[in-house]
Chain A
């Protein structure tokens, strides 16, 4: 390897190492003792994924969109899991329901700040993704026709996104979780 190439390679490695250390110490909120005890996600990337639902123009009044935290280990309890939206000027706690879903606030200020979503769990233990579902009724009573319509709306939305999961599928039933 020629000398200039070697020097450049070393400089790049040093820069990467410095940035990683800098990011771990300064960019992660110190809710946990070390960077290994918290997981972060980019609010901008989450915002982008959620905005597809906002911009979707076909009927969607029977369905809703959340962000869902789900453990890779399904036996783990969600009781102690806490999610926060942290930006330069504010910190917002995002409550999770029993299935780990939260309503992601669509805040321009947080987007412009390049805010972080911080999970108080160890890194690489949780998945974080948009989740579309049928709107829940408070009285728990559902017309069969409405459930069929809701399923069709959900399927249409998933096909619009190009999801492999829904490709070629039809609505045959609804599952309550």
Chain B
């Protein structure tokens, strides 16, 4: 197909998600129409960025696009302002979920009063750390098609962290593979996340007060490249109405974020699969 077009379902991100903000491609349609996917799947992901432990959770999936360019994709919403085939850009909002200590089973101490007791065994390093409250991030996206199959995607979002001042920029090169089997789309991407000091400190820093409550030493994080990551996306259209969408993400934390006492492993894997119905 001469027109460069991709299709992605954005998966809902949970607390401290490593999921990138993604936007569905410009979707031209009759005035007044909409294209809607709703589905359910499962996702295995680390309990927080840098955690040793992963958990599997149900994953609702939603993507809506309207003829005026507005879209909702998982936890993101935005608007396509471009009418050009090779460039997409516009404003975007994204809901960043809560980060809090996961469960009570992985530590030797009680977490009921938010203070880590006794020796840390099989650590949950977030015990004693402040929760990071849900935040609505605001920003924009800009994607450009370099060739038919290669695309550079960017998103810039501001407002993360309890002080609402965390900024992160995601930039990815995405390559579409054309499989010989019909109704399959496959793409691979590699990219980087750059964060300001406020974002990095919120997710990877330890304040003196938190250090007293938790088992973590005081730690300050600087701005810079937060992580490198690679993604694989596979969509299988079972029929015009049913779609199986799957994704795999590998993220490797970088620099002072990776060296944080909160980080149990700098490499994390997120895998998901969902079945969606197209209305």
A174 at the interface (CB under 8 A from B): no
By beta carbon, the residue of chain B nearest A115 is B240
**Count of chain A residues near B, Cβ 8 A:** 48
A4 to B244, CA, bound (A): 21
In the complex, the answer to whether B238 meets A19 with C-beta atoms within 8 Å is yes
In-complex Cβ contact of A114 among B30, B44, B148, B241 (8 A): B241
Which residues in chain A, 138-164, are within 8 Å of chain B measured between CB atoms? Answer: 158, 160-164
B104 at the interface (CB under 8 A from A): no
Which residues in chain B, 255-279, are within 8 Å of chain A measured between CB atoms? Answer: 273, 275, 278-279
Complex interface bits, B136-158 against A, C-beta within 8 A gives 1, otherwise 0? 00000000010111000000000
A171 at the interface (CB under 8 A from B): no
Tell me the smallest distance from the CB of A94 to a CB of chain B, in Å. Answer: 16
In-complex Cβ contact of A52 among B41, B85, B182, B239 (8 A): B85
Instruction: Please name all residues of chain B whose beta carbon is closer than 8 Å to the beta carbon of A111 when the two chains form the complex.
Output: 29-30, 33
Instruction: Please name all residues of chain A whose beta carbon is closer than 8 Å to the beta carbon of B279 when the two chains form the complex.
Output: 114
In-complex Cβ contact of A130 among B2, B145, B240 (8 A): B2
In-complex Cβ contact of A164 among B84, B148, B182, B275 (8 A): B148
In the complex, the answer to whether A16 meets B244 with C-beta atoms within 8 Å is yes
B121 at the interface (CB under 8 A from A): no
Instruction: Please name all residues of chain B whose beta carbon is closer than 8 Å to the beta carbon of A8 when the two chains form the complex.
Output: 42, 56, 58
Instruction: Please name all residues of chain A whose beta carbon is closer than 8 Å to the beta carbon of B147 when the two chains form the complex.
Output: 162, 164, 167
Instruction: Given the known inter-chain contacts A43-B240, A111-B33, A161-B2, please indicate yes or no for A48 contacting B56, CB distance below 8 A.
Output: no
In the complex, the answer to whether B275 meets A15 with C-beta atoms within 8 Å is yes
Complex interface bits, A1-26 against B, C-beta within 8 A gives 1, otherwise 0? 01011001101100110011011100
Q: How many inter-chain residue pairs (CB < 8 Å) link A and B?
A: 113
Instruction: Given the known inter-chain contacts A49-B3, A161-B4, A165-B2, please indicate yes or no for A106 contacting B30, CB distance below 8 A.
Output: yes
A150 to B147, CA, bound (A): 24
B115 at the interface (CB under 8 A from A): no
A170 at the interface (CB under 8 A from B): no
B86 at the interface (CB under 8 A from A): yes
In the complex, the answer to whether A124 meets B30 with C-beta atoms within 8 Å is no
A44 at the interface (CB under 8 A from B): yes
A112 at the interface (CB under 8 A from B): yes
B181 at the interface (CB under 8 A from A): yes
By beta carbon, the residue of chain A nearest B54 is A5
Which residues in chain B, 214-270, are within 8 Å of chain A measured between CB atoms? Answer: 237-242, 244
Tell me the smallest distance from the CB of B87 to a CB of chain A, in Å. Answer: 9
A81 to B62, CA, bound (A): 37
Tell me the smallest distance from the CB of A23 to a CB of chain B, in Å. Answer: 3
In-complex Cβ contact of A22 among B2, B56, B242 (8 A): B242
In the complex, the answer to whether A163 meets B273 with C-beta atoms within 8 Å is no
By beta carbon, the residue of chain A nearest B87 is A162
In-complex Cβ contact of B28 among A22, A51, A108 (8 A): A51
In the complex, the answer to whether A23 meets B27 with C-beta atoms within 8 Å is no
B1 at the interface (CB under 8 A from A): yes
In the complex, the answer to whether B33 meets A108 with C-beta atoms within 8 Å is yes
A162 to B6, CA, bound (A): 14
Instruction: Please name all residues of chain B whose beta carbon is closer than 8 Å to the beta carbon of A40 when the two chains form the complex.
Output: 239-240
In-complex Cβ contact of A16 among B33, B35, B275 (8 A): B275
Instruction: Given the known inter-chain contacts A42-B237, A52-B85, A116-B240, please indicate yes or no for A19 contacting B30, CB distance below 8 A.
Output: no
7 contacts between A and B (CB under 8 A): A4-B56, A8-B58, A16-B244, A108-B32, A158-B2, A160-B84, A162-B148
State the B residues within 8 Å of A (CB). 1-5, 27-33, 35, 41-42, 44, 56, 58, 83-86, 145, 147-149, 180-182, 237-242, 244, 273, 275, 278-279
Given A2-B56, A108-B32, A162-B86: 9 more A-B contacts, CB < 8 Å: A16-B244, A27-B242, A48-B5, A49-B3, A52-B3, A114-B241, A161-B4, A163-B2, A167-B147
Shortest Cβ-Cβ A-B pairs, 8 listed: A23-B239, A51-B28, A108-B30, A163-B2, A27-B239, A162-B86, A8-B42, A164-B148
